[in-house]
Amino acid sequence: MGKTLAYKILQDHLVKGDFVPGEEITIRIDQTLTQDSTGTMVYLQLEAMDVDKVKTELSVAYIDHNTLQTGFENADDHAFIRSVAQRHGVLFSKPGNGICHQLHLENYGKPGKTLLGSDSHTPTGGGLGMIAIGAGGLDVAVAMAKGTYSLNVPKMVKVNLTGKLRPWVSAKDVILYVLKKLTVKGGVGKIVEYTGEGVKTLSVTDRATITNMGAELGATTSIFPSDERTLEYLTQQGRAGDYIPLEADADAVYDEELEVDLSSLTPLAAMPHSPDNVDTVSNIGEIKIDQVAIGSCTNSSYADLMKVAAILKGKKVHPDVSLVISPGSSKIMAKLASNGALADMIVAGARVIENACGPCIGMGQSPKSGAVSLRTFNRNFKGRSGTNDASIYLVSPETAAVSAVKGVLTDGMKCGEELHEVLPVDFAFNDNFIVYPQGTNKSNTEVAMGPNIKPFPRNSALPENVEAKVVLHAGNNITTDDIMPSDSRLLPYRSNIPHLSNYCFEKIDSGFSARCKEAGACCIVGGENYGQGSSREHAALAPLYLGVKFVLAKSFARIHRNNLINSGILPLVFENPKDYDDFEIGQELVIENAREQVKKDCIVVKNKTTGREIMTTGAFSEFEEDMILKGGKINSIK
């Protein structure tokens, strides 16, 4: 029986465990990345583990989220991250260099390597043939400290690509089609591997767009083979020496398969408020738009923006539309400036902003009340843009650009314009934005700790009986944006959990925080796919600070489940999903003999208010049991 590419890389990095789907293994981590909205907490945790140098081949701290300086908080976080990076041998990417995933693809990603990142879109690296996994900050801190990461062996999904994309159809349309077919929970516990003749028609940045939004499937990661297109890209970046060919065996066996004929695809859009709410642009129709935002780690590559510049050249952005463009890296910005493409975009009426995440995370450029905004980003959750009543549509750069000119959502295939292929170019090496930890170490570098940086909350050992009051009865597909909102108002406080906790679940229930404080010990009831979206561990740390002891749900998103366990919070799944309907806010629950129950397949939760007993499962591994018993991962390690 042949092996999939993902299994080849995982087995090559196996440190501990039996390589059987569903079983827990520990793998060696070659590289890590952090970004600043999660990074401050990561480096507080790294300091708490009292290590000297990181154990990885390469670790990079990127500054790309909180680059809007409206007070001292963001700048203090950056100074803190830089100081800890210097102490432990971590590269520091200064603000303005670009978005972590685009930068890592350009400068450091290598086929066959493993990458763990404190951002859910770390699987972007799969476009280069890496096993690149998004994780909670504590998992990344441990990977830097120990050089390892534990996970359950995922199942394998094969997406077989045939044919070739037509003009005006792009990689964004490919992943939107896959999301439509598999849904936002279709990849949970799985790796998505792309194969077939159609693969060679896609560039590395095309592939990276697809693997980036594999995060929206809930997948552990996504991966493409490393082939001549990979060599082409690495050569353009001056890194041909990092190339190795990699592919699945011809007789590799997969758990699921999906066929995608690239030549049959048309421009698609994800409608509000979910990335899998997908239809063709033609079917949606020519709706009037107010804003267009082009960029993010999904679609800010050189090729993407050159297509945008070509569409805008000699034209004018519609008077009713605000067009904002954020290039993915300083390299890309410099190339656009030198070849005239930047001028074409500006003359057309585009606003060009810093190389950063920006509007994707609600850090500026929020649309007006009730607006329709087309975005080339990866998520369109309600309120994520910073405007709660805005309607956000996810589209390709080509669709975004032509729509910005027309003033309505436009199918480029029907507009009668030609769209030429972007020719590859070479990029000059530039590390002027990188700070190397030369001559610095833990003994000669002080930690720069600003007044907004507070210690992360620590749990205590699991008691014999866990009592809690229900403080929230939530629906399906609750996102980490719902749990811990992310916008320009709150992002500066990512290093201050006590302050952030006041806003926990505010978009779902404004009384949540106060109810938790009144209850003391509390719990949450959720539906399917609880905790989907961003990897931010703040969605576990803020509830921990507020006294949440366990979460009952129909199912959990992978990263959030891990983050809850890392914090010593029990994620429990209903054995009978209908039991979800029996709960109300204010009911008092108890898990008796909890320390013994977590070791069993079935965990009984008693509803003291109704007298009912609810059967749940934890399915905890031996390592997870240890973390829960001791009150979290840091306690377990210590």
Which two tokens mark 617?
A: 């499962």
* pLDDT per position as a tens digit, 461-486: 999 999 999 999 999 999 999 999 98
Residue 638, pLDDT score: 77
Q: CATH homologous superfamily for 466-637?
A: Aconitase, domain 4 (3.20.19.10)
Q: What are phi and psi of 59, to 5 degrees?
A: -135, 135
Model-level pTM?
A: 0.95
Q: Give 228's Cβ-side CA count (13 Å radius).
A: 3
Going from N- to C-terminal start, the domains of the chain cover 5-264, 268-412, 466-637
Residue 361, pLDDT score: 87
User: Which of 145, 115, 111, 151 is CA-nearest to residue 133?
Assistant: 115
Equal CATH topology for 268-412 and 466-637: no
Residue 614, pLDDT score: 97
Query: Do strands 291-294 and 322-325 pair parallel, antiparallel, or not at all (unpaired)?
Result: parallel
Q: Give 537's Cβ-side CA count (13 Å radius).
A: 35
Q: Give 386's Cβ-side CA count (13 Å radius).
A: 17
Residue 141, pLDDT score: 96
The C-alpha angle with vertex 263 and arms to 258 and 264, in degrees rounded to 5, equals: 70
For residues 531 and 490, the model is more confident at 531
* pLDDT per position as a tens digit, 142-156: 999 999 999 999 999
Residue 487 confidence class, pLDDT cut points 50, 70, 90: confident
DSSP 114-155: EEEESSTTGGGGGGGT-EEEE--HHHHHHHHHHSEEEEEPPE
Residue 447, pLDDT score: 94
Residue 491 confidence class, pLDDT cut points 50, 70, 90: confident
pLDDT at 252 over 90: yes
d(CA 143, CA 472): 34
N- to C-terminal Cα separation, the chain: 42
Task: Report which secondary-structure segment, H or E, holds 183.
Answer: none
d(CA 363, CA 210): 24
% of the chain at pLDDT higher than 70: 100
**117 near 135, Cβ under 8 Å?**
yes
d(CA 389, CA 482): 14
Residue 415, pLDDT score: 87
User: Which of 609, 615, 616, 569 is CA-nearest to residue 585?
Assistant: 609
Q: Mean pLDDT for the chain?
A: 96
b or e along 602-636 (b: 16 or more beta carbons within 10 Å of the residue's beta carbon)? ebebbbeeeeeebebebebbebbbebbbbbbbbbb
Question: May I ask the CATH class of domain 5-264?
Answer: alpha beta
Residue 322 pairs in a beta bridge with 291
Residue 580, pLDDT score: 97
**570 near 618, Cβ under 8 Å?**
yes
Q: CATH homologous superfamily for 268-412?
A: Aconitase, domain 3 (3.30.499.10)
Q: Which residues contact 590 (CB under 8 A, 6 or more apart)?
A: 465, 466, 467, 468, 605, 606, 608
Query: Which value, in Å, is the radius of gyration of the alpha carbons in the chain?
Result: 23
Residue 428, pLDDT score: 84
- Mean pLDDT of the 204-231 span: 98
Average the pLDDT over each of 97-106, 191-200, 297-306, 361-370 and give the range with the smallest value: 361-370
pLDDT at 287 over 80: yes
* pLDDT per position as a tens digit, 6-35: 999 999 999 999 999 999 999 999 999 999
Residue 69, pLDDT score: 83
* pLDDT per position as a tens digit, 417-466: 888 888 889 998 889 999 999 888 888 999 999 999 999 899 999 999 99
Q: Which residues contact 442 (CB under 8 A, 6 or more apart)?
A: 52, 87, 88
* pLDDT per position as a tens digit, 44-86: 999 998 889 999 999 999 999 988 888 999 999 999 999 999 9
d(CA 132, CA 83): 26
* pLDDT per position as a tens digit, 327-361: 999 999 999 999 999 999 999 999 999 999 989 98
Q: Give 421's Cβ-side CA count (13 Å radius).
A: 9
